[in-house]
A and B are shown apart, each in its own frame.
Chain A
Amino acid sequence: MTTLQKSLAISILCLMLAGQPGTLTAQEAPQETSQEIITLLKEQNRNLSQNLRRIQREIAALRADLDKPTIKDVFAGIGYIVGLFGFAAFAASRTRSR
C-alpha cells in the first residue's frame, strides 16, 4: 500500500467524519417515524377499545340472558306447586279418613 493510498483513505475517512454534522439534518427522520408510530399506536388503541366495548356489551347481554328464567326453572316451579298441592290433598284425605 502506497502512502498515496493511505492518505486517500484517511482523507476519505476524515471527509466521512466531517460529514457527521449531516446527521443533524437526518435527526428529523426519527421524529417522523415516531409520529407515524404514535398514529399507529393510536389507531391500534382505538381498535382495541372498540373490541373491548363490543365484548363488554356481549357480556352484559349474556348476563341479562342468565337472569332470564330458563325452561328448567319453569318446570321446577310447576313441579313444586303440583307437589305441594298433592301433599295438601294427601294430608286432607288422611285427616278426613281418620
Chain B
Amino acid sequence: MHISDGVLPLSVSIGSYAASALLVSWSTRHIRSENLPRMAVVTSAFFIASLVHVPFGPTSVHLLMPGLAGALLGPAAFISIGLGLLLQSLLFQFGGLTALGANTLIMGLPAMACGYFFQRFKGRTQLRQSIVGGAAGALGTMLAAIILAILLVTGGEDFFGVAKIAVAAHVPVIIIEGLISAFTIGFIARVKPALLQPSFYKKTKSIHD
C-alpha cells in the first residue's frame, strides 16, 4: 500500500505534503506528555508491522495496522504514522521520499477515522471492544485502499477501476488485519484496559502548555 516515487504528479505530491504537514501540526496539539511512551510503542509497532508477513494461501501479506494505531492513539496516531513511514522510507526503501506526504495521508486519515470509530462504539465489555477493534482494523485497511485509489486517480487513472483493484488486492489483508486487530485489542482490554482509554480528552492540556 505504498505509492512509489514518480507515480503522482508533482502538484499532488506537494499538495499531499502540505495536507499532511497541516495534519501533523494539528496532531501534535493532541499529545499529552504522559502518552509519549504509548506513542513510542505504537510507532515502533507500526514501523515493524510491515515486516511481519502473514502466510495467506499461496502468497503472504504484510500487516498495515492503521486501525490499531488509530484505536490506541486517536488523533495523535497521525504523527506516529508519519514518523513510522518516514523511517520506513529511509531505512527500508518502502515508498519514496517525494511520495511520503501521500503515503502519510493514505495511512493517517484511516487511522484517525478508526480512532474515532473505536472510541465511539467500543462500549464496556471486553468482547465488544475486541469486535469493534477488529472492525476498526478492517475498516482502516479498506479506507487506506480507497484513499490510495483517490490519490492514484489524480495521476490520470479511472477511479472505479483502480478502487476495485486496490480493494480486491487487499481483501486478504483486510481479513487478516481485522482478525489480528480483534485479537490484539481483546488482549489489551484484558491485560491493560487503560491503554484503550482515549488519549485526547483534554485538548487544552497538551505539551505546549
Interface residues of A in 83-97 (CB under 8 A from B): 84-86, 88-89, 91-93, 95-96
Among B36, B47, B48, B83, max chain A CB count under 10 A is at: B36
Check: A21 CB closer than 8 A to any chain B CB.
Answer: no
Check: B197 CB closer than 8 A to any chain A CB.
Answer: no
Check: B51 CB closer than 8 A to any chain A CB.
Answer: yes
> What is the 8 Å Cβ interface bit string for chain A, positions 55-98, against chain B (1 contact, 0 not)?
00000000000010100011011101110111011011101100
Whole-angstrom distance from the CB of B133 to the nearest CB of chain A?
23
- Chain B, interface SS category: helix
> What is the 8 Å Cβ interface bit string for chain B, positions 19-47, against chain A (1 contact, 0 not)?
00000000000010100110110011001
Interface residues of B in 40-88 (CB under 8 A from A): 40, 43-44, 47-48, 51, 83-84, 87-88
Beta-carbon contact of A80 and B39 below 8 Å: no
Check: B160 CB closer than 8 A to any chain A CB.
Answer: no
Among A76, A84, A86, A92, max chain B CB count under 10 A is at: A92
Specify which of B37, B51, B208, B209 is in contact with A69 (CB 8 Å cutoff). B51
Cα A93 to Cα B36 with chains together (Å): 11
Beta-carbon contact of A89 and B33 below 8 Å: yes
Beta-carbon contact of B47 and A77 below 8 Å: yes
Closest to B38 in A: A85
Chain B residues closer than 8 Å to A69, beta-carbon distance = 51, 91-93
Whole-angstrom distance from the CB of B73 to the nearest CB of chain A?
12
Cα A64 to Cα B105 with chains together (Å): 28
Closest to B43 in A: A81
Report, as a range, how many residues of chain B touch the other chain: 20 to 34
Cα A69 to Cα B95 with chains together (Å): 13
Cα A93 to Cα B207 with chains together (Å): 9
Specify which of A74, A76, A85, A91 is in contact with B43 (CB 8 Å cutoff). A85
Beta-carbon contact of A81 and B207 below 8 Å: no
Beta-carbon contact of B91 and A81 below 8 Å: no
Chain A residues closer than 8 Å to B36, beta-carbon distance = 85, 88-89, 92
Among A76, A85, A91, max chain B CB count under 10 A is at: A85
Beta-carbon contact of B44 and A78 below 8 Å: yes
Give 3 closest A-B pairs by Cβ, nearest first.
A85-B40, A92-B33, A69-B92
**Chain B residues close to A by CB (< 8 Å):** 31, 33, 36-37, 39-40, 43-44, 47-48, 51, 83-84, 87-88, 91-93, 207-209
**Chain A residues close to B by CB (< 8 Å):** 67, 69, 73-74, 76-78, 80-82, 84-86, 88-89, 91-93, 95-96
| Additional A-B contacts beyond A78-B44, A95-B207 (20; CB < 8 A) | A69-B51, A74-B48, A76-B91, A77-B44, A77-B47, A77-B91, A81-B43, A81-B44, A81-B87, A84-B83, A85-B36, A85-B39, A88-B33, A88-B36, A89-B36, A89-B37, A91-B207, A92-B36, A92-B207, A95-B209
